[in-house]
């Protein structure tokens, strides 16, 4: 009797499980069919519209171009960083991370549908012409950029070195558009510059993150650390750095970190979720650091900043960063086409997402041009003993007065150019780019660089008191 009951129970349980599996499979299949049905209806609608336009539009249309534009619109509607790229655009993207190309030397983006300058690259035609961050390019060779895709605008501005191109831009503060004629040049893709601002205090400037950025940073550190006076502090300038390759951002952060999380990315799919950890370094860089950021600091440069800030490895000063906390992947498609789309968000070691929020500096410091005659800024305008009539002459006053007069003349020459403080600030780093001997003193006229140096110097003054 017990055996029969057990057999019946097993049969009933088996039947129940079989029914449940059948129900689940049916639901799954029905769901797939429902989803496929929605997709089919959508594609049928697209086909109907395409056929209608082909047959009845006022002028003949090119079917291939219509389909490309439809796909571009679909992908771009997802977010500002996703793009469908025809072969020439896909090739341009590859050129952006390696080699060199003929162009103007500006990083641009589409912001609210407007072709906006993120930053000019030092030493390039755009930089020398005075193009600034946040300038809006409204025309390229007389053609409006409003309806252009980003890649189309970039393609138009690139070309054979030595050829001329005309662009029209608008700028806050100007009452009318500005026409600028530029001669294309070979744009080098070196992304790292360095200089010793004062004995024992180094400065590294990363313009973007390309294939060899981490290796170039290591080379720059080796050079700075080989100076006569040991390196006591480092300024890492990431202002106006629009980002670049994720692996290079991780590698740069890892140079200064010994352990812990650098960044984590979390996506919808498991394959797009990953945690990047720092590894112990064979060469240690134990000196204090200050990182400079601003509204042009984005993506990969924010990853480096967030990692070093959360680890308390560096003090961050400047203004709030751009706030691009998403990760894109690039997939090659058939016939040379490419697809760039967002697959994940990234998080700093503390678990904070900076998407649309940006990184807040530890110290808010606005960028200003310090007084060029003394470096004292506002204080330079205050009356001092040497300004008083019949004051007692200092021992070295005659020599110092000559130097001051000479610098004042140089300042007057700058003023005669009609450059604003903003334009002058843009040019302060040019001395670093060209390896000028004046680079250290020129850089220290930048209020943010100056403050960074003072912080590092102050740290060592306090440290010496403890000994």
**Which one of the listed residues 311, 324, 340, 446 is annotated catalytic?**
324
In terms of DSSP H, where are the helices of 57-122? 63-76, 87-95
Output the six-digit token pair for 212. Answer: 């060899």
Kindly give the parts of the chain with pLDDT less than 50: 13-30, 373-385, 399-417
pLDDT tens by residue, 248-302: 999 999 999 999 999 999 999 988 999 999 999 999 999 999 999 998 898 999 9
Domain CATH number, residue 121: 2.30.42.10
State residue 97's pLDDT score: 59
Q: Are residues 249 and 319 in the same domain?
A: yes
Residue-wise pLDDT tens digits, 41-85:
889 899 999 999 999 999 999 999 999 989 999 998 898 889 999
Per-residue model confidence (pLDDT) at position 319: 95
φ, ψ of residue 168 to 5 degrees: the values are -120, 130
Residue 324 is among the residues annotated as catalytic for this protein? yes
Q: Is 338 helix (H, G, I), strand (E, B) or coil?
A: strand
pLDDT at 279: 96
Q: Round to whole Å and give the CA distance between 432 and 197.
A: 10
Residue keyed to tokens 């700093």: 348
Q: Tell me the residue range of the domain where 214 lies.
A: 192-328+344-364
Catalytic residue status for 264:
no
Token representation of residue 282: 């064979």
Task: Say which CATH number the domain at 259 has.
Answer: 3.90.226.10
Radius of gyration (Cα) for the chain, nearest Å?
Answer: 29
| 8 Å CB contact between 281 and 299 | no
DSSP notation for 272-336: G-EEEE----SS---S-EEEEE-TT--THHHHHHHHHHHTTSEEEEES------EEEEEEE-GGG
pLDDT at residue 117, as a whole number: 87
What are 369's two structure tokens?
Answer: 């041009």
Q: What distance in Å separates the CA atoms of residue 267 and residue 273, rounded to the nearest whole number?
A: 5
Q: Are residues 178 and 242 in the same domain?
A: no
Domain for residue 183, yes or no?
Answer: yes
| Last-in-domain residue among 147, 169, 187 | 187
Tell whether 240 and 155 lie within a shared domain.
no
Which has the closest alpha carbon to 120: 106, 110, 108, 134? Answer: 106
**Choice among 119, 194, 299, 326 that is catalytic:** 299
**Per-residue model confidence (pLDDT) at position 197:** 96
Whether the predicted model's global pTM rises above the 0.85 cut = no
- pLDDT of amino acid 37: 79
Of 83, 135, 216, 310, the catalytic one is 310
- Whether 417 is catalytic is no
């Amino acid at each position: 009797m017990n055996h029969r009951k057990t057999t019946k129970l097993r049969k009933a349980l088996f039947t129940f499980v079989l029914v449940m599996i059948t129900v689940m499979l049916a639901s799954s299949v029905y769901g797939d069919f429902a989803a496929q049905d929605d997709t089919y209806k959508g594609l049928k609608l697209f086909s109907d519209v395409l056929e209608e336009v082909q047959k009845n539009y006022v002028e003949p249309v090119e079917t291939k171009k219509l389909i490309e534009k439809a796909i571009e619109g679909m992908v771009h509607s997802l977010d500002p960083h996703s793009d469908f790229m025809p072969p020439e655009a896909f090739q341009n993207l590859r050129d952006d991370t390696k080699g060199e190309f003929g162009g103007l030397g500006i990083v641009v983006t589409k912001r609210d549908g407007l072709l906006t300058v993120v930053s000019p690259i030092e030493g390039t035609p755009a930089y020398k012409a005075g193009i600034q961050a946040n300038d809006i390019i409204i025309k390229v060779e007389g053609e409006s950029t409003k309806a252009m895709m980003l890649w189309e605008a970039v393609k138009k501005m690139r070309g054979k070195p030595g050829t001329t191109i005309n662009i029209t831009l608008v700028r806050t503060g100007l009452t009318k558009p500005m026409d600028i004629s530029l001669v294309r040049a070979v744009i080098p893709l070196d992304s790292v510059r360095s200089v010793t601002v004062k004995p024992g205090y180094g400065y590294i400037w990363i313009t973007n993150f390309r294939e060899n950025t981490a290796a170039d940073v290591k080379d720059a550190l080796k050079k700075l650390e080989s100076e006569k006076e040991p390196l006591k502090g480092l300024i890492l300038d990431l202002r106006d750095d629009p980002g670049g390759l994720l692996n290079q951002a991780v590698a740069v952060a890892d140079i200064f970190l010994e352990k812990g999380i650098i960044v984590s990315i979390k996506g919808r799919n498991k394959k797009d979720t990953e945690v990047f950890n720092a590894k112990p370094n064979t060469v240690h860089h134990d000196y204090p650091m200050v990182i400079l950021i601003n509204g042009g600091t984005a993506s990969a440069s924010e990853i480096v900043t967030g990692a070093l800030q959360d680890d308390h490895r560096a003090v961050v000063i400047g203004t709030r960063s751009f706030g691009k906390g998403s990760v894109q992947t690039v997939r090659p498609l058939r016939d040379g086409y490419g697809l760039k789309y967002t697959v994940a968000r990234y998080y700093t070691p503390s678990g904070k997402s900076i998407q649309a929020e940006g990184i807040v500096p530890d110290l808010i410091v606005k960028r200003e041009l310090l007084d060029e005659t003394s470096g004292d800024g506002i204080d330079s305008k205050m009356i001092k003993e040497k300004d008083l009539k019949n004051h007692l002459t200092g021992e070295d006053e005659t020599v110092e007065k000559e130097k001051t007069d000479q610098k004042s003349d140089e300042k007057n020459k700058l003023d005669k150019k009609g450059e604003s403080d903003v334009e002058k600030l843009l040019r302060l780093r040019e001395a670093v780019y060209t390896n000028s001997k004046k680079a250290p003193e020129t850089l220290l006229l930048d209020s943010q660089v100056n403050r960074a140096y003072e912080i590092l110097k102050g740290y060592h003054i306090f440290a010496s008191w403890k000994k």
